[in-house]
Amino acid sequence: MQMLSEYLQAQYGEKVYKLSLSAGCTCPNRDGSVGVGGCAFCSEGGSGDFAAQFAPLEEQIAEAKARIARKTDAKKFIAYFQSFTNTYGPVERLESLYRQTIQRPEIVALSLGTRPDCLGPAVMEMLSRLNAIKPVWVELGLQTAHDETAARMNRGYALDTFLDAYRRLKAAGLTVIVHLIFGLPGERREDMLKTVRLVAGLRPAVDGVKLQMLHVLKGTALGAQYEAEPFPLLTLEEYADLIAESVRLLPEGTVLHRLTGDAPGPLLLAPEWTRNKKRVLNTIHRAIGK
C-alpha cells in the first residue's frame, strides 16, 4: 500500500506539495442550517487549525509557496482547501475561485474538504466541470461509521448520507478520500475496526484514507466534557496497533494520505503523546512492520 508521497512521486515524477488555502466557507453545522457549534471535536479553526486564513487567492498562493520554498524547490502543487466545508456556499463563487486555482500551471490537482450533506446536484455538476480540467479530490469527513457515536459528536448527518454521497462522487469519476478518527468516546477497538472494514468494503474502492487519533482540544465541546470529567483515551501502542490493522484491512490500491495528525500545541488537552510526532510515526512504522 502506498503512502501519499510515494503515489505523487510515481504520478508526477517529482515531489508534489500541498498548498494550504482557504475558500472563506463556513459549515452548515455551525450556521444553523444543520446545527450549531460544529462537531464536538472541531475547534474554531474548522478542523484546519494550521490552514490558511481567507485572503485574495494570489496572496494565499504566494504565501503558501513561500513557506514551502524555505524547505524545498518544489515546482508542482496540490491546492488544498481544508478548513470548514468547501462545497458549502454560492456555487458560482466557489467555481470561480476553484477554476482560477486549478488552471494555474503549477497546480496538478484540487483537493476539497467537505461534508457528504453538501454535495447537491449543482455542486456535483461544478465538481465534474473542474475534474475535466485537472483531478479533483473530494475529502469526506466520515470519522466513524456508527450513527450513535456521530450523534454524540454532533456530526449532523447519518451514515446513509455518507454512503449516498460516496456513490455519487465515484459515479462522477471523482477521487474520494475518507477521513477517520480513532479514539472517539464510547468506541471500543472493534467499533473502530468496523468503521475501517466498512470503508475497505466500499465499491468502487476508496481512493485514499486519512487516519487520525482523536485530539481533545480546548474551546471545543469535547474539550469541555474532558475537562469536567476525563474519559479514557487510546495509548500510543493501542493507536499504532489500530493503524497496523487498518493497513492490513484496506484495499491494496488505496493511498494512505495520513497515519497521524497534528494539533495546535496550545490547544491540545490530550493525549499528550501526540505532541511527539516523530515518536508516533516510528511506533506506527514498527507496528506495521511486525
pLDDT average, residue stretch 216-238: 96
Which residue from 163, 152, 286, 161 is spatially nearest to 214, judged by alpha carbons? Answer: 152
**Burial call 67-103: b when 16+ CB within 10 Å, e when fewer:** ebeeeeeeebbbbbbbbbbbbbbeeeebbebbeebbe
Q: Where are the domains of the chain?
A: 4-214+247-265
pLDDT average, residue stretch 221-245: 97
Q: Give the percent of the chain with pLDDT over 90.
A: 89
Residue type, 177: I
Which tens digit of pLDDT belongs to each residue from 141-191? 999 999 999 999 999 999 999 999 999 999 999 999 999 999 999 999 999
pLDDT exceeds cutoff 90 at 290? no
* Full-model pTM: 0.94
How many whole angstroms separate alpha carbon 201 and alpha carbon 71? 38
Residue type, 140: L
pLDDT average, residue stretch 46-69: 81
Q: What is residue 52's predicted lDDT score, i.e. its pLDDT?
A: 58
pLDDT average, residue stretch 49-67: 84
pLDDT exceeds cutoff 60 at 48? no
Q: What is residue 43's predicted lDDT score, i.e. its pLDDT?
A: 82
The single residue listed with the C-alpha cell 471545543 is 220
Q: What is residue 68's predicted lDDT score, i.e. its pLDDT?
A: 94
Those residues with Cβ within 8 angstroms of residue 70's Cβ, 6 or more apart along the chain or in another chain? none
Q: What is residue 37's predicted lDDT score, i.e. its pLDDT?
A: 87
Q: What is residue 49's predicted lDDT score, i.e. its pLDDT?
A: 47
How many whole angstroms separate alpha carbon 58 and alpha carbon 101? 9
pLDDT exceeds cutoff 90 at 53? no
Which tens digit of pLDDT belongs to each residue from 88-147? 999 999 999 999 999 999 999 999 999 999 999 999 999 999 999 999 999 999 999 999
CATH architecture of 4-214+247-265: Alpha-Beta Barrel (3.20)
Which tens digit of pLDDT belongs to each residue from 187-202? 999 999 999 999 999 9
Q: Which DSSP string corresponds to the chain?
A: --BHHHHHHHHHSS-EEEEEE------TTTSSSS-SS--TT--TT-S-TTSPPP--HHHHHHHHHHHHHTT----EEEEEE-SS-TT-S-HHHHHHHHHHHHTSTTEEEEEEEE-TTS--HHHHHHHHHHHTTS-EEEEEEEE-S-HHHHHHTT--S-HHHHHHHHHHHHHTT-EEEEEEEE--TT--HHHHHHHHHHHHT-SSPPSEEEEEEPPEETTSHHHHHHHHS------HHHHHHHHHHHHHHS-TT-EEEESS----GGGEEE-GGGG-HHHHHHHHHHHHT-
**pLDDT band for position 46 (50/70/90)?**
low
How many whole angstroms separate alpha carbon 97 and alpha carbon 103? 10
Instruction: Calculate the CA 258 to chain-centre distance.
Output: 9
Which tens digit of pLDDT belongs to each residue from 97-107? 999 999 999 99
